[in-house]
Each structure stands twice: as structure tokens, then as C-alpha cells.
Chains A and B, each alone.
Chain A
């Protein structure tokens, strides 16, 4: 089981408290689709994903960004059992959506960069470390049902 120190819990809560799910979700997904263009393969039904401006203006991307952040909130609310909390989500991504799990890490990296642009100097190395540990656990849980 993952062990969290009091400082780590506080750091992760602090990051979430500052997150505007809609805006951060949209920008993180946009960065994923721009920086790692192969990820567009999973969003064929989303319409215009041609460039950064088009993606940021795309309502389906915005809606989906919020969904993903809400998914992460589930992990936040169940930090001591993320593995089981994500069991059905993991199955969804592997069986139905068939997403290459390498892309989860990439989304996490983009989300981290967006948080850094918003929090700036408040996103200290210690807070970053705690946040990335949380993401690593979430990503690992999402990968669990792949076989």
C-alpha cells in the first residue's frame, strides 16, 4: 500500500484546491494533443484538432478535460486505495477505449506543466515531488487491468 506523509497529503490537497477543472483540464488535454500528436488517434470523433488554437476552442476537448480532472479527484478522495478506486476505470481504458498506457504518463506530464504555469514559484520542488508521486500512483492504478 502506498504511504503518504502528512506533508504530501497537504501538498496534493493544496494543488487540487487551486485547480479550475474546466480551464486546467482543457489546457492539459490541449497540450497533450499538441506536444504528443499521436494521442489524437483516440479522439477521432472530436472534430477539429488541427492546431493549438482549434483544440483550445473545441468544446468536446473542454468537456473531456473536465471529465479527466474529475477522475483524478476520485483518486484524491480515496488516496489510501487508489488501486481499487480505479479498477473499473482501468478496465474501461484497456478493454473498451484501448488506450496505450504510455500515454497516461504523458497526460500527467502535461497537467504538471499547466499547474506549473499557474502556480509558478508556489509550485516548489517539494510540492512538485508530492504531486508527481500522486500522479504516478494514479497512472499505475490505471495500468493495473491491462493484460
Chain B
């Protein structure tokens, strides 16, 4: 359940991330691959070494999708429908991995925003990421 204040805060934060989408996205992915090596099993088709072109490109896509979701929080299911189908029928990622990625996004935001990543911002973004992942996993079964 997101309050209106939280929804505004989420949009504000993600809008700031769009210009640095490659940096944020690739860093979150790298943190996930380093802390949770099993997540690398989904990326055997890419070069996911630090600072690789694939990592930056994929990171950018992820942050842009998150920013798009942030701007359409009340219609997440419709907005994310194509991504939802993609994750269910093609990617078939084990659902526990969403939490691992979400955690690494939080850590990345914390590193970049420092004390501006307040407890209230942390709560709002965590709730947003949970809602986003739930929609992505919706069609899994």
C-alpha cells in the first residue's frame, strides 16, 4: 500500500536515476552477481564482467523499466504486461531472485544518495520494488 507522498517520493527518486541509468543499473547487477553468484546462471549469454558493454546496456534497460513503472504505479499490471509475459514464459527466473536484485538496487541507491536515502525513502522504494516484482512474477503460474 503506497501513500500519495510515497508515490511522489518514488517518482522523484527514479527521475534522478534516469540520467545515470547505466551506472545505477550496472552497479546493482554487479553487486548482485558478486554477493549472490547463483544469479549469474541467468546470464551465460552475456559478458557480465565489471564495466562491460553488456552489463551497462542491460543495467540501463532495468533502470528505465523501473522508472517507467514508477511513473505508472497505479497501472503497474497493464504497464508491465509485456515484461510480465517475458519473465514468465521466456526468462523463467526463480522468483526468489527478484528479492536479491531488489536488495542490491536498495544498496546501490544508498551508496549514491547517502543520507538522502532516508528511512522513509527506503521504505517507499522497498514497497515499490516488491510491487513491481509481484507483477513481473504474476504470470509464472
Q: Which of A109, A117, A119, A125 contacts B117 (CB 8 A)?
A: A117
A123 touches B111 (CB 8 A): yes
Q: Mark B6-32, 1 if CB is under 8 A from A, else 0.
A: 000000000000000000000100110
Residue ID in chain B nearest A118 by CB atoms: B114
- A residues less than 8 Å from B123 (CB atoms): 31, 34-35
Residue ID in chain A nearest B124 by CB atoms: A35
- A residues less than 8 Å from B119 (CB atoms): 27, 30-31, 34-35, 52, 56
A35 touches B122 (CB 8 A): yes
Binding site secondary structure of chain B: helix
Residues of A within 8 A of B (CB): 27, 30-31, 34-35, 52, 56, 109-110, 112-114, 116-121, 123, 125-126, 128-129, 132-133
Q: A117-B111, A129-B31 are in contact. List 4 more A-B contacts (CB 8 A).
A: A109-B103, A117-B115, A123-B111, A128-B35
Some 30 contacts from A to B, beta carbons below 8 A apart, are: A27-B119, A31-B123, A34-B119, A34-B122, A34-B123, A35-B119, A35-B122, A52-B119, A56-B119, A109-B103, A109-B106, A110-B122, A113-B122, A116-B108, A117-B117, A119-B111, A120-B111, A121-B111, A123-B111, A125-B30, A125-B31, A125-B33, A125-B35, A125-B50, A126-B34, A128-B31, A128-B34, A128-B35, A128-B107, A133-B35
